[in-house]
Amino acid sequence: MSRNYEFYNPEGVYFVSFAVVEWIDVFTRNEYKDIVIDNLQYNQKEKGMEIYAWCLMTNHVHLVFKSIKGIKPAILLGNFKRYTSKAIISTIKENPRESRREWLLEQFEKAGLKSSNVSKYQFWRHD
């Protein structure tokens, strides 16, 4: 589930998987699942991400997709992951029903400290 996917053919169909740091079960809450689903739909309609299949598990995502508007697959995927991570962390901070808030943010912050390209919180695994 590396952040360094190899997209050799910009017009190819790709299967990718990516997980939450420490395999934390974030997607047990509808609020967080909806962010992923809404962003998939946005990328389909606006960015040219043709989605063949996706599976949202409690702590990771599987996605089969292709770029159809000339945007490199790596850019599409990077933008998707960047947006979802920021939106989910923001929602965790603001969600009054999130009983795990402090623990979740602590885990994301600890993961961020291990990464040279993360300023505060790391949501998706980089390995």
Q: Does residue 1 lie within any of the structural domains?
A: no
Q: What are 34-84's pLDDT values in tens digits?
A: 999 999 999 999 999 999 999 999 999 999 999 999 999 999 999 999 999
In a domain, 108, yes or no: yes
Specify if 120 maps to a domain. no
> Does 123 fall in a domain?
no
27, pLDDT greater than 60:
yes
Whether residue 124 is contained in a domain is answered as no
What is the domain count for the chain? Answer: 1
At residue 2, the pLDDT reads 44
Its domain, for residue 102, covers 14-113
Q: How far is CA 80 from the centre of its chain?
A: 6
Tell me if 49 is assigned to some domain: yes
- What pLDDT shows up at residue 118? 80
CATH number, residue 85: 3.30.70.1290
Strand partners, 21: none
How does DSSP classify residue 29? S
CA distances in angstroms from 24 to 14, 73, 79, 103, listed in the order given: 25, 26, 22, 11
Contacts of residue 94, defined as CB under 8 A and 6 or more positions apart, other chains included, come to none
Q: Is residue 37 part of a domain?
A: yes
Go through the chain and tell me how many residues it has: 127
Examine residue 36 and state whether it is found in any structural domain, yes or no. Answer: yes
